[in-house]
Amino acid sequence: MRTHTIGLVVLLAVSAKLASAADTPAAPCKDLPVVFKEDFEKPGAMDKWQPMDPAQWKIGEDGENKVLHLHKKKSAYRPKVRSPHNYALIKDVVVSDFVLDLKMKSTHKDYGHRDLCLFFGHQDGSHFYYVHMALKADPHAHSVFLVNGKPRVSIAKDRTKGLVWGEKWHDVRIVRSVKDGAIKVYFDDMTKPIMIAEDKNFVWGRVGVGSFDDIGMYDQIVLRGTKVDPPKKADKAKAKGKGK
């Protein structure tokens, strides 16, 4: 009887662990193919990224775990319009619809705009979206922002009042659908978004991580999406002319 009891306890424990792993908030959605995946454990991981200022970024460690580390605040990068200074983009991957899952950890001290950011629809340094996740929401913090040839503007239709970074890792997800322009951002709880926006200015672009001007860590990045070839400059100019 004792052997059977121990066996049942072990089986239940294993089953619970498997169920937890299957339901983990960062478990990637299965409706889109994986187009990029990185846990930073193998050599050469940094080569897959294009940082705006390489001096700010390195493959660091958090305990025994290797991570992408934004370890310096002051950036040499100066964007043409008011927008984040500290970010790195995934190389050679351009997507339309996508689901981005990753873990993020802020290593900055608390203050109102303590933030980490995610970037998408990035076409150049003056045309992209970014999600600013901060301690307190205001017109310039904790929102989905559009950078469209002029200083960033908040486009969130709904958002929480802020979030708590603390000292731990968090599961984060962005879901983007270009057909209806939907943008949904999740933080730890994958059943209810902390931000919702709708915009169709950029229906393709690169994806990245960073901060407006703080520091932090990123790990277990999984990007599922529809890969696209960005239009050539002549094609973009022609399309812009038609839109006038």
Percentage of the residues of the chain whose pLDDT score is greater than 70: 83
The full DSSP string for 192-221 is S-SEEEE--S-SSBEEEEEESS--EEEEEE
pLDDT value of residue 91: 97
d(CA 136, CA 161): 6
Strand partners, 174: 100, 185
pTM for the model: 0.84
Residue 231 — φ and ψ, nearest 5°? -65, 150
Delineate the domains of the chain, giving CATH numbers in brackets.
31-230 (2.60.120.560)
Whether the pLDDT of residue 238 is over 80: the answer is: no
Whether the pLDDT of residue 148 is over 70: the answer is: yes
Average pLDDT, the chain: 87
At residue 237, the 3 state secondary structure works out as: helix
pLDDT per residue as tens digits for the range 25-83: 344 455 899 999 999 999 999 999 999 999 999 999 999 999 999 999 889 999 999 99
d(CA 116, CA 39): 18
Contact assessment for residue 132 and residue 212, using Cβ atoms and an 8 Å cutoff: yes
pLDDT value of residue 13: 38
* Chain-centroid distance, C-alpha 150: 22
